[in-house]
Amino acid sequence: KQEVTQIPAALSVPEGENLVLNCSFTDSAIYNLQWFRQDPGKGLTSLLLIQSSQREQTSGRLNASLDKSSGRSTLYIAASQPGDSATYLCAVSLSGSRLTFGEGTQLTVNP
């Protein structure tokens, strides 16, 4: 059974700092991996989708990497801003259909 772990569970940083969120998964035979953002009481917003054949994806200040063989992904946020404060969720798909989620990293960026 696929298990997804996110470290750390919570992170507080000053504005402007570069930061890395970690995600690990137990079954390396994934189809793809997706990073989401969730604001309190809201749904999920897709940030980046990495296919199993890809090593990384970039969108603005966000960069996600994927190392299938080691079962790891990282989400890099450059020059963090208070508006980045949210919970970040990592999810993997084995078949291109259902997702298995980690428990998330709660990020607070202090002005």
Residues 48-67 binding other proteins (CB under 8 A) are: 49, 51
Residue type present at position 111? P
Which one of the spans 21-29, 36-44, 60-68, 77-85 is the region binding other proteins (CB under 8 A)? Answer: 36-44
Residue 67 CB, nearest approach to other proteins (Å): 19
CB 16 within 8 Å of CB 80 = yes
End-to-end CA distance of the chain: 41
- Comparison of 14 and 60: residue with beta carbon closer to other proteins: 60
List CB contacts of 98: < 8 A, sequence separation 6 or more.
Answer: none
Per-residue contact track with other proteins, 73 to 102, x per CB under 8 A? ----------------x-x-x--xxxx-xx
- Residue 42 binds other proteins, judged by CB under 8 A: yes
- Residue 23 binds other proteins, judged by CB under 8 A: no
Q: How remote is the C-alpha of 73 from its chain's centroid?
A: 7
- Residue 71 binds other proteins, judged by CB under 8 A: no
CA pair distance 44, 26, nearest whole angstrom: 23
Residue 46 CB, nearest approach to other proteins (Å): 5
- Residue 46 binds other proteins, judged by CB under 8 A: yes
CA pair distance 9, 12, nearest whole angstrom: 11
